Amino acid sequence: MRQKFFLFGTIAFLMALTVYYFFNFGLTAAICIALLLLVGLANSIQKKHAILRNFPVLGYFRYLFEMIAPEIQQYFIERSTDGKPFSRNQRSLVYQRAKNIDATTPFGTQLVLNQSSYEGIKHSMFPAKVKEDLPRVLVGGSDCTQPYSASLLNISAMSFGSLSENAIMALNKGALKGHFYHNTGEGGLTQFHLQGGDVTWQIGTGYFGCRDDRGGFDGGKFAEKANLPAVKMIEIKLSQGAKPGHGGVLPAQKNTEEIAKIRGVQPHITILSPPSHSAFSDAKGLVAFIAHLRELANGKPIGFKLCIGETSEFETLCQEMINSNCYPDFITVDGAEGGTGAAPLEFADGVGMPFEPALIFVTKTLVRFGIRDKIRVICSGKIISGYAILRAIALGADICNSARGFMFSLGCIQALRCNNNECPTGVATQNKMLMKGLVVTDKSERVYHFHKNTLHAANELLAAAGKKDFADVDISIFMRGDEFTHLANTYFPDNLTNVAK
């Protein structure tokens, strides 16, 4: 191809010169061709890129198409039901509810129903009255002196750094209007989170916001922020679904001077949070840390978040809670399919237990140890619809969190640019020019409407099933497309048989 490029390029150059010589035009074309030949020459002698070396100049098209491949896939190839991680129909549902416009669909379902992948609600012949009030759940055990009444749906953990300051402010202002909480993510509690909305402050392995000079936990700094009126709950992050056992990742291009100052780290370098906590290293230490934080926070709800891996470790933790007579006020269960701004592919694709079996395992284990009534179970994992909320409750959750659902409500288009600072909608970037596209006052309203309309849809589904309260929801109201069996028959893998008894 190199020979053909230079052969035809030289011929075209000579023809352009000939036209210019006889007809006095075509000089610009000749100059452009000459420049392309020079670029091609540079391509053919460089040694780093085989495509450019073999296909001078033309090889750049390969990089162009690779760069816009997600957009080509999304706009021209994928069908309405098969986009990943979220289909076009799912994204459209969030957009419509966030804009507070008609969210109905025409003509009927696009799903194939007579197969095992279809799951549906067994509606009642005598539906209940649709509840007008949006559901709330009280969080706080016997050791909690400042219990918190949480919404059934809330904003899951997303850090400032992963998300832009405008996105964080819009989320918190939406949470303020809708009376639901906003989880800070492990990046720390910042001024952008303090826009009036309720906050769950997440403490990760990097202890950002409560970090001493050596990177360890600083109780004094923690107590100062934990006792702010906006902070309603504190969540210890053990692991997250998208990269369990790895620790958080903030790419260098998103680690600005401002973010580095907030986190207490060097700017413009990739920040890798440690895989594990330095404040504790086993179940006994975790339980003691929970008690310590509860004391420093003057009795506010304390919990932890994890993606289930080795199930025996969670069983050991439950036994340690009983031995110490100390229990978290809540446990957040994240599935392996959870979202992230940046994660190694091996961790995203190959580590951790999926959402459904993990949630069932946690709730069944708590029941088996006789402590389920002491702890609220919060779940996160692709919760973007009223149906997903009911399904999570049926599998054992008390409260649902959503991250990517609320990102869609901000305008996220699933461009898959979260990790390179080039998010075109200004949601997951620190680029000031891109960030300006996200108008806080407008997007906060969309956050509010998405929350409200999604919970209203959950209320409608609850009534369709003939139930008057979410406490009445269990797995018996669901069926599969190929047989009328309970979903419970699907979600008990062999390694969890001990909790199915």
CATH architecture of 136-499: Alpha-Beta Barrel (3.20)
Question: Could you tell me what percent of the chain has a pLDDT over 70?
Answer: 93
Residue 402 has pLDDT above 80, yes or no: yes
DSSP letter, residue 497: G
Six token digits for residue 296: 């420093």
Spatial separation of the C-alpha atoms in residues 12 and 356, rounded to whole Å: 63
Spatial separation of the C-alpha atoms in residues 283 and 317, rounded to whole Å: 5
Residue 177 has pLDDT above 80, yes or no: yes
Encode pLDDT of 461-497 as tens digits: 999 999 999 999 998 888 876 554 445 555 554 445 5
Residue 69 has pLDDT above 90, yes or no: no
User: At 119, phi and psi to the nearest 5?
Assistant: -130, 135
24 or 134: which carries more pLDDT confidence?
A: 134
By the 10 Å C-beta count (0-12 exposed, 13-18 middle, 19+ buried), 75 is classed as exposed
190 or 493: which carries more pLDDT confidence?
A: 190
- Number of other residues whose CB lies within 10 A of the CB of residue 472: 13
Among 268-277, 306-315, 423-432, whose mean pLDDT is lowest? 268-277
What pLDDT is attached to residue 489? 56
Among 165-174, 251-260, 315-324, whose mean pLDDT is lowest? 251-260
Mean pLDDT value across residues 405-428? 87
Do 13 and 33 meet the contact criterion of CB atoms below 8 Å apart? yes
Question: Could you tell me what percent of the chain has a pLDDT over 90?
Answer: 50
- Altogether, the residues listed in the chain come to a count of 501
DSSP code string of 291-312: HHHHHHTTS--EEEEEE--SHH
- Domain boundaries in the chain? 2-67, 136-499
Spatial separation of the C-alpha atoms in residues 95 and 412, rounded to whole Å: 9
Residue 453 has pLDDT above 50, yes or no: yes
- The SS3 of residue 59 is helix
Mean pLDDT value across residues 367-379? 96
Among 87-101, 144-158, 217-231, 263-277, whose mean pLDDT is lowest? 263-277
